[in-house]
Amino acid sequence: QSEKRLGFIIRMDGTTVYFAGDTDVIPEMKSIQCDIALLPVSGTYVMTPEEAAEAARLLNPKIAVPMHYGAIVGSDADAITFKSLVRNCQVEII
């Protein structure tokens, strides 16, 4: 299994958004400062809800938004599990 390490940091109007893309938890997350973190949670090709919760802990955003679930892979349960595990920030399921 190859490691995936491509994400994007977007700064606009005083807000920093981290789009994790299709990734795993990576050490660099400790050094990323963001207001909003968009984190994959399906566990298929990306982080599981538990791993995404660890990423949220490392990133420490104000808001975490689960993504990459429910349409092609994963289910709504992945987003709900993620929300139940995150304790350090607000989670918005969209």
pLDDT tens string for the chain (94 positions)?
Answer: 455 567 899 999 999 999 999 889 999 999 999 999 999 999 988 999 999 999 999 999 999 999 999 888 889 999 999 999 999 999 999 9
Angle at the Cα of 12 (from 5 to 92), degrees rounded to 5?
Answer: 70
- This prediction has a pTM of 0.92
Query: Please, what sign has the CA dihedral across residues 32, 10, 61, 82?
Result: negative
